[in-house]
Structure 1
């Protein structure tokens, strides 16, 4: 979980949501961890004042209208929005947990069984979106959040109606994540079909199982060439043998050669059942394996009791030694000062869906694909520590004491970090 304190220039409240910290950023704005008056956590996306103009407002309003139509158990829900505000904003469900990119980077690829479970879950979720006449168009590892109740898909900022040629972008502009987009999307073909999401899901599952995407290159131009060249086959090295036939089909160069999503679900089920499990059992194993450790935002914002240093507080928040495998929380980093208990953000672009794919890939060619997260890390009920202080009561985020602490965090962070 990467939460940075607010800077002095950041708003502290938007649309009734109290803003608690930064969880992502991008070319067009910032994403904050927010909390409703009733205590509901949210990811609050705000457009930068410097880029607010009539065109930006129109695109933002279109995004809000699209999000209103997207629903499903595996889709991060829209909570509220105001595209007409001085600083246009929208709030979506906050999902506490790592995105797939970060999880694989930290813990390694998923076993074949869990990858098949992930595939069945996401394919079913995308099929629900397609029934609503929508395509995602930018599915990638960073847009799959591994929450306490299973994976969820985020960032529908690039979604368009499947039956329409309408676009949120300028003509002849290719928008999306090159390493996960199919050839027809990279070529700018329109209209796109549900097969674009099948291909992207294949790239996501390959990454989950192997730790890499279908194509890798030193620069964005070479990467695009690999994607659109029919003679350059996807790199499936490292993928479990039982997944290779499905991944090969999903990553087929021609859209008509890719299986429909219901076929993807069926083949994933077959892989799971071949190992003697039901799909629901595999889903529970996936969730147990990937779910985030207990939420410790309260501990990070709480005022340390007399005599307890910031490092001691971090150590107190660590998981007990007997915590079962798969639930271990990485140790909290030593804070840079006693006043600053929240790590600065190294979370990738929370709003990458708003920016076109331009030459900006890193040396591996995967920066765009693995470097963008919705920034959220998931809204599960917080497991409270038994040690609640001398008074026997926990510190509430909305208490005066917590507000004073948050202000101190902002001041300490602003003194050390340029914005």
Structure 2
């Protein structure tokens, strides 16, 4: 996720959150990367003062109420909010990674195995939302974040309670993203059903697998005509053959012809298992393939520099007598200890024909300096020797100690 610096006009903090940078914006507001007093990162969404009115506040308050209602492993959780503040703001869980739109733009479409895994994961997440009596209504590639623990859905600003007849949308007004919008939503039909999210999910999986959306046009009126015209079929060019039947059904013109989310999960499982994988294995591969380098938040924070040793006599016996300045260690800023990702290994050549093919290599983000080893830290040449000293439980203490052990080991005469 790109983090831009704050402008001189941006607030320094909101609701107790220190603002560190900009991570997104739109016609209605700005999203900042914030940090709580206890160090918890958050995405802080703020409504622009120029558009704050009674209707905007009411819609914003509805979004806060909906986020309080939603739960699920694939939903960015609400942390705090104040719809009555000036300006109104809300803070949600910060997902460190690119959205699906940017990931595909940088790295290309996903293989069918990973696109099917994405479809199954998001279908299950939407089913949880629907069980809570809600519809998302604005699912699109930009609202799917590819975090270090897998994809998550964000932005419930247009979500509604499915059973509610109350709407903040003016009559004859359509709100949403036309290129991912089903025909009934584009026509302004009421009430909408869970089939709207099935269609939008089909558009998201289509984009993930092919790099384009079902309908594309330079003119918004032409686009609306394509979406609502039953004779204009969605563009499925570039989609792997094994995904075409599922996407055709999900993007059906009539809402009643689309599969339920539970059927979407089962069909995605079929695509995965036909390639010799289990669903959990495909999920791990998806996360490995899409996860951005860690410590992006730490790039905004000062570098931690450990002081040089007080005297050569204080060092372990295995360290050669080098000048103190040569033993200065510059450490990158430390964050939470990374959790290793399990990558499924290919079976040996003698394995059965159903053995897994090699894992797709993860696509690293360019220019992420926090993940490159520090130039001041030479690669270790062997195991460290000498006494371990008293154990310390601080995360930073453990990381610092490990790095120092690597430096000492690299320069050991043994």
TM-score (norm 2): 0.75
Q: 1:89 to 1:388 in 2, by over 3 A?
A: farther
Alignment partner, residue 46 of structure 1: 46
Alignment partner, residue 84 of structure 1: 84
Correspondent of 2:366 among 326, 330, 333: 330
Alignment partner, residue 168 of structure 2: 168
Q: 1:387 to 1:215 in 2, by over 3 A?
A: same
Matches within 5 A, 1:90-101: 90-101=90-101
Residues 366-403 of structure 1: CA distance to partner in whole angstroms, max 9, x if unpaired?
Answer: xxxxxxxxxxxxxxxx97966799xxx98xxxxxxxxx
Q: 1:267 to 1:24 in 2, by over 3 A?
A: same
Q: 2-side partners of 1:69 and 1:189: how far apart?
A: 25
Please report how far the alpha carbon of residue 172 of structure 1 lies from its aligned counterpart in structure 2 after TM superposition.
1.4
Q: 1-side partners of 2:3 and 2:167: how far apart?
A: 33
Runs of 4+, deviation exceeding 4 Å: 382-389
Matches within 5 A, 1:9-88: 9-88=9-88
Please report how far the alpha carbon of residue 184 of structure 1 lies from its aligned counterpart in structure 2 after TM superposition.
0.4
Structure 2 regions of 5+ residues with no counterpart?
A: 306-330, 333-359, 378-394, 397-414
Please report how far the alpha carbon of residue 27 of structure 1 lies from its aligned counterpart in structure 2 after TM superposition.
1.5
RMSD: 2.3
Q: 1:136 to 1:296 in 2, by over 3 A?
A: closer
Q: Is the 8 A contact 1:74 1:151 kept in 2?
A: yes
Q: Does 1:104 align with 2:104?
A: yes
Q: Is the 8 A contact 1:16 1:37 kept in 2?
A: yes
Please report how far the alpha carbon of residue 303 of structure 1 lies from its aligned counterpart in structure 2 after TM superposition.
6.2
Q: 2-side partners of 1:204 and 1:327: how far apart?
A: 20
Alignment partner, residue 401 of structure 1: none
Q: 1:89 to 1:109 in 2, by over 3 A?
A: same
Aligned to 1:117, what secondary structure does the other structure show?
A: helix
Aligned to 2:113, what secondary structure does the other structure show?
A: helix
Structure 1 regions of 5+ residues with no counterpart?
A: 306-312, 315-323, 334-381, 395-419
Alignment partner, residue 298 of structure 1: 298
Alignment partner, residue 367 of structure 1: none
Q: 1-side partners of 2:303 and 2:249: how far apart?
A: 54
Q: How many residues align?
A: 327
Question: Which gives a bigger RCO, structure 1 or 2 (Cα 8 Å, sep 6+)?
Answer: 1
Q: Is the 8 A contact 1:45 1:90 kept in 2?
A: yes
Q: Is the 8 A contact 2:107 2:363 kept in 1?
A: no
Aligned to 1:269, what secondary structure does the other structure show?
A: helix
Residues 265-306 of structure 1: CA distance to partner in whole angstroms, max 9, x if unpaired?
Answer: 01111111111111001000000000011223323443699x
Q: 1-side partners of 2:5 and 2:70: how far apart?
A: 31
Q: Is the 8 A contact 1:23 1:31 kept in 2?
A: yes
Q: Is the 8 A contact 1:293 1:327 kept in 2?
A: no
Please report how far the alpha carbon of residue 260 of structure 1 lies from its aligned counterpart in structure 2 after TM superposition.
0.3
Residues 32-82 of structure 1: CA distance to partner in whole angstroms, max 9, x if unpaired?
Answer: 100001111000011112222222211111111111111110000110001
Residues 87-138 of structure 1: CA distance to partner in whole angstroms, max 9, x if unpaired?
Answer: 1100001101111000110000000000110010000000000000000000
Aligned to 1:33, what secondary structure does the other structure show?
A: strand
Q: Is the 8 A contact 1:158 1:168 kept in 2?
A: no
Please report how far the alpha carbon of residue 165 of structure 1 lies from its aligned counterpart in structure 2 after TM superposition.
2.2
Bigger Rg over Cα: 2
Q: Is the 8 A contact 1:137 1:197 kept in 2?
A: yes
Q: 1:290 to 1:189 in 2, by over 3 A?
A: same
Q: 1:161 to 1:388 in 2, by over 3 A?
A: farther
Alignment partner, residue 253 of structure 1: 253
Alignment partner, residue 153 of structure 1: 153
Q: 1-side partners of 2:149 and 2:168: how far apart?
A: 32
Please report how far the alpha carbon of residue 8 of structure 1 lies from its aligned counterpart in structure 2 after TM superposition.
1.8
Q: 1:87 to 1:388 in 2, by over 3 A?
A: farther
Aligned to 1:302, what secondary structure does the other structure show?
A: coil
Matches within 5 A, 1:387-406: none
